[in-house]
Structure 1
Amino acid sequence: MTKLIISASVFQSQVADLLPCNGYKKSQLTYALLDAYNLLNYFDVVIKTPYCSKEDLLRFHSATYVDQLMNDTLNVIQEGDKIEDDWNQLGEISDQWNDSNDNIPKERRFYSREALYEYFKAYKLNPKEIANTYNNVRSIKRMKLDNVTLSNDELLKKYNLTGDCPLFSYLPMYLQVNTGATLVLEKYINLPPPGENDFERIIGINLDGGRHHASKQSARGFCYTNDIVLLIQRLRKKGFQRISYIDFDLHHGDGVENAFKYSNFIQTISLHLYEAGFFPGTGSLKNNKPPNLVNIPMFHGLNDKYLQTILNKIIIPLIDQHNPQIIVIQSGGDGLSGDKYDEWQLSIHGLTKCIMELVDRFTTCHCIVLGGGGYNELIMSRFNTYLTWNIVRKYSSQIQNGLIKEYIEDDFDYLIPDHEFIELYADDNYKYWSYEQPGNDKFKTLRNNNTPDYLEKCIRNIFPNETHLKRSVNRSAP
């Protein structure tokens, strides 16, 4: 038996889109498309108001860093960020569509960040109780506190809250909601009782999670707190002994790797672009300590066929060795064809197929699917929806007779369903597979710099003592 849990709502998507690199619309477009296909109706549990406390963040992050992030003075509109229309650019579009279709929205939309924050304050836990708990945990946190008072500019530099990780309006609320949306999934995951054969498998999803760069006391790469590390720590505390983390993001999952590089219980596998000058500049083959710490560094132009070979020859054998009780998948989509990075040429079909093979193969362990990178918001809404649809149609207990009413067809002429943000897809002629149709002006082919010989080098590095895995790679494959 499988139970599906997702953290998703209009509220959560609007909070997630406070993050500047989301373009103020990535999460809202995804949620609207999930809603257009009625996919949330097929979940056993839909979490609409996620939350985590300062205490939760302290389980990994340093006290002085959390103090800086969670300063109440940041729960306001910041100087230089006062244009409400930037964040609320989708509000008017939503209103116009609802009015023209005589539609009554299922969920409340917020038209100012202040209104969003007032709603957040109304549902979160008792502030006094939280403050007392936080202060207690902070007082016993093992760390060396600074004796030197730093200026604000020095503090920002120390915690890297500049450049790609600037302070933005309502940052504390964003962190508590976005991180909470991942951590709340843990509440539904339990170890099966000894000798119990009736295993209830949980597949949990937070498409706004996957902030894999954040370190213990520093923000990095658009990531302020590391929800992945915090989640894995919770699962370990709950009694899970073996956990596998697989990262498909274009960027190296450095924050997660560093947190668990000395652990024999946590396996971290990161597939990423590794080229001179590309962030974060880590994750080479030299750093590998298989089977628990594994990097699969790739070059420009990675395609579906090569990815599939990596999955079959490296990733699945590694997970088999670890025999996890739970797998955590970071499904970053910045390697998709059409992404603003324009480095890899993965298709929505290809990346989804690889993720689903992991979900389908390791059925005796729980599975958490988190989001990640992806900087073409229109592509990411399609990818996130297609991935969710695939999980739902195979594992939802809410589907009667194995049938699902909502279909995403593979026909290249298949159109995105009419919904409140449909006009944002007009430049793609409203086609779902616009970026995967040969001959379409959106379709691009990059030179694949990843060769069969390089893949064989990776295999030899990762499986140095297993001759059956070192057999030659089919020269016509990737």
Structure 2
Amino acid sequence: MKGRRPPLDSRTIWINNSASGLYRFHDDHPFHPIRLELTENLLRACGALDNKQMSPPFSQEEAEQVIRDIHRPDYIDAVTALSSENPDMAAIKLAAQYGLQADGDTPYFHGMHEASIAVAAGSLAAAEAVMSGRADHALHLAGGLHHAFPDRASGFCVYNDAAAAISYIRHHYKARVLYIDTDVHHGDGVQWFFYTDPEVFTLSIHETGKFLFPGTGFHHERGDSSGYGACLNLSMEPYTEDESWLDCFRQAVEHAARSFRPDIIVSQHGCDAHAFDPLAHIHCSMEIYREMPRIIHDLADRYTQGKWVALGGGGYDHWRVVPRAWSLLWLEMSGHPLLNKIDSTENGGPLPQQWPNMNTNRKPDFPLPSTWLDDVGSWTSMPRRAEITAKNKTMLELALQHIG
């Protein structure tokens, strides 16, 4: 498996996610692959991505073996049975037991097993590229399906590619992994996969489970058995804004990295904590999606000799938020000079005028953003800002009590 893929010129690689476009529930489902197309289209429009930076995923066979190592056999059998064009009644009767009911958040669909394996194949390729030394950084935006459990689907996630990549790193390289999850929904699946493992530190920043799916991720969830202390949750108050979000994030990841001393960082970059996102209640702007990748990049440089694997995740404002947020992540990972202009220009400067230039009948009828960052000065001021900030500060103090 190792050493078969040719070296690339760039030290940052983009894992080709075209096969992952098959991971598609139905046309009206919020987890839609158009997010990937729009992001790649934006990066190509500004000259920040070319084919020389692309690397293939693992084969389906390689990825399936890892998935079978971490998911329960009966669950994989159920997913496989429900993936046929016309599942039989016996499989349909068991679907709800495995989190795959037709009218639920994670409905089964034709080709589901193969599409979910394809997602894992990309994340595994990213992990191998970085751990083998073929690249310093690797990005797989189709990955980040962090809600899947060993025995069931959850929250749009069938197989847990993030857990698969971490397990692969642990098995083949015995490396200590710091997992950082920035999705607005708690990274519950990854947390529970490694809750008793002292060699995997899981850190998640998210809207508090008091109000948002999956209802977990509180500061008292700290790991168990020998893994106690290798789990950190930042449960942010609804309507949190940029300054409070970033202050908590900076302090938490610094404490975690200094205490844990990881060999590699694996990060999940759901971008649904933006004020425009329809599925959450956080009121942040594009600023956090510029700053969080910068913070993680700095951690990787100081603690892991640059080793950094990044995955996608949630994000349900497909046009105004996801393409900009994920593009900013790639620009940071690859050290693109466009960042200098974004950082020094009001609202980040203009997006390419020709974007989007792809054929789709899904284009919305509302205006698209014209700049990389948001003009937050034009936003309505949020009430209770001081109270929200104080609650987040108290939560952070409690969460950090068990971190050295």
Do structure 1's residue 32 and structure 2's residue 41 form an aligned pair? yes
1:7 Cα deviation (Å)? 1.3
Aligned counterpart in structure 1 of residue 216 of structure 2, from 278, 282, 295: 282
Do structure 1's residue 62 and structure 2's residue 72 form an aligned pair? yes
> What do the CA deviations read for 1:192-251 (whole angstroms, capped 9, x no partner)?
7xxxxxxx7620101111111100010000000000111011001122331100111111
Task: Indicate how the Cα distance of structure 1 residues 276 and 311 shifts in structure 2: closer, same or farther if over 3 A, else same.
Answer: closer
Q: Could you tell me how far apart the structure 1 residues matched to 2:150 and 2:371 are?
A: 40
Aligned counterpart in structure 2 of residue 338 of structure 1, from 276, 284, 290: 276
1:160 Cα deviation (Å)? 1.1
Q: Could you tell me how far apart the structure 1 residues matched to 2:184 and 2:72 are?
A: 27
Flag structure 2 segments of 5+ consecutive residues without an equivalent: 1-8
2:5 is aligned to none
1:191 Cα deviation (Å)? 6.1
Aligned partner of residue 309 in structure 2, secondary structure: strand
Of the structure 1 ranges 366-375 and 407-416, higher mean CA displacement relative to structure 2 is found in 407-416
Aligned partner of residue 288 in structure 1, secondary structure: coil
Aligned counterpart in structure 2 of residue 451 of structure 1, from 381, 385, 389: 389
Aligned partner of residue 310 in structure 2, secondary structure: strand
Q: Which residues of 2 match residues 263-412 of structure 1 at below 5 A? A: 263-289=197-223, 291-363=229-301, 364-378=305-319, 379-393=321-335, 410-412=345-347
1:15 is aligned to 22
Q: Contact 2:297–2:332 (CA<8 Å) still a contact in 1?
A: no
Higher relative contact order (CA 8 A, sep 6+): 1
Q: Contact 2:78–2:91 (CA<8 Å) still a contact in 1?
A: no
Aligned partner of residue 214 in structure 1, secondary structure: coil
1:157 is aligned to 96
> What do the CA deviations read for 1:404-461 (whole angstroms, capped 9, x no partner)?
699657444724331423993773255134743433xxx4544445333541343244
Q: Which residues of 2 match residues 89-104 of structure 1 at below 5 A? A: none
1:242 is aligned to 176
Q: Contact 1:18–1:24 (CA<8 Å) still a contact in 2?
A: no
Q: Could you tell me how far apart the structure 2 residues matched to 1:68 and 1:444 are?
A: 48
Q: Which residues of 2 match residues 126-141 of structure 1 at below 5 A? A: none
Q: Contact 1:50–1:184 (CA<8 Å) still a contact in 2?
A: no
Task: Indicate how the Cα distance of structure 1 residues 393 and 186 shifts in structure 2: closer, same or farther if over 3 A, else same.
Answer: closer
Task: Indicate how the Cα distance of structure 1 residues 75 and 156 shifts in structure 2: closer, same or farther if over 3 A, else same.
Answer: closer
Task: Indicate how the Cα distance of structure 1 residues 160 and 429 shifts in structure 2: closer, same or farther if over 3 A, else same.
Answer: closer
Aligned partner of residue 11 in structure 2, secondary structure: strand
Query: How does the TM-score come out when normalised to structure 1?
Result: 0.71
Q: Could you tell me how far apart the structure 1 residues matched to 2:30 and 2:44 are?
A: 23
1:205 is aligned to 139
Query: Which amino acid counterpart does residue 19 of structure 2 have in structure 1?
Result: Q
Q: Could you tell me how far apart the structure 2 residues matched to 1:258 and 1:213 are?
A: 10
Query: Which amino acid counterpart does residue 387 of structure 1 have in structure 2?
Result: L
Of the structure 1 ranges 46-55 and 280-289, higher mean CA displacement relative to structure 2 is found in 46-55
Q: Could you tell me how far apart the structure 2 residues matched to 1:464 and 1:319 are?
A: 14
Of the structure 1 ranges 424-433 and 283-292, higher mean CA displacement relative to structure 2 is found in 424-433
1:298 Cα deviation (Å)? 1.3
Q: Identity of paired residues, percent?
A: 21
1:325 Cα deviation (Å)? 0.4
Q: Contact 1:331–1:372 (CA<8 Å) still a contact in 2?
A: yes
Q: Contact 2:234–2:395 (CA<8 Å) still a contact in 1?
A: no
Q: Contact 1:333–1:383 (CA<8 Å) still a contact in 2?
A: yes
Q: Could you tell me how far apart the structure 1 residues matched to 2:11 and 2:210 are?
A: 43
Aligned partner of residue 5 in structure 1, secondary structure: strand
Do structure 1's residue 216 and structure 2's residue 170 form an aligned pair? no
Task: Indicate how the Cα distance of structure 1 residues 393 and 24 shifts in structure 2: closer, same or farther if over 3 A, else same.
Answer: closer
Aligned partner of residue 269 in structure 1, secondary structure: strand
Of the structure 1 ranges 333-342 and 256-265, higher mean CA displacement relative to structure 2 is found in 333-342
Q: Contact 1:43–1:392 (CA<8 Å) still a contact in 2?
A: no
> What do the CA deviations read for 1:27-68 (whole angstroms, capped 9, x no partner)?
221222122223222864433786454323101001111112
Aligned partner of residue 374 in structure 1, secondary structure: coil
1:15 Cα deviation (Å)? 2.3
Q: Could you tell me how far apart the structure 2 residues matched to 1:75 and 1:298 are?
A: 41
Aligned counterpart in structure 2 of residue 173 of structure 1, from 100, 110, 114: 114
1:381 Cα deviation (Å)? 1.1
2:12 is aligned to 4
Query: Which amino acid counterpart does residue 375 of structure 2 have in structure 1?
Result: E
1:416 is aligned to 352
Aligned length: 376
Aligned partner of residue 65 in structure 1, secondary structure: helix
Q: Could you tell me how far apart the structure 1 residues matched to 2:66 and 2:389 are?
A: 44
Q: Contact 2:293–2:333 (CA<8 Å) still a contact in 1?
A: no
Aligned-CA RMSD value: 3.1
Q: Contact 1:344–1:446 (CA<8 Å) still a contact in 2?
A: no
Q: Could you tell me how far apart the structure 2 residues matched to 1:462 and 1:207 are?
A: 30
> What do the CA deviations read for 1:262-317 (whole angstroms, capped 9, x no partner)?
11100011111114352111111222246411111111012211122113322211
Task: Indicate how the Cα distance of structure 1 residues 36 and 266 shifts in structure 2: closer, same or farther if over 3 A, else same.
Answer: same
Q: Could you tell me how far apart the structure 2 residues matched to 1:406 and 1:286 are?
A: 40
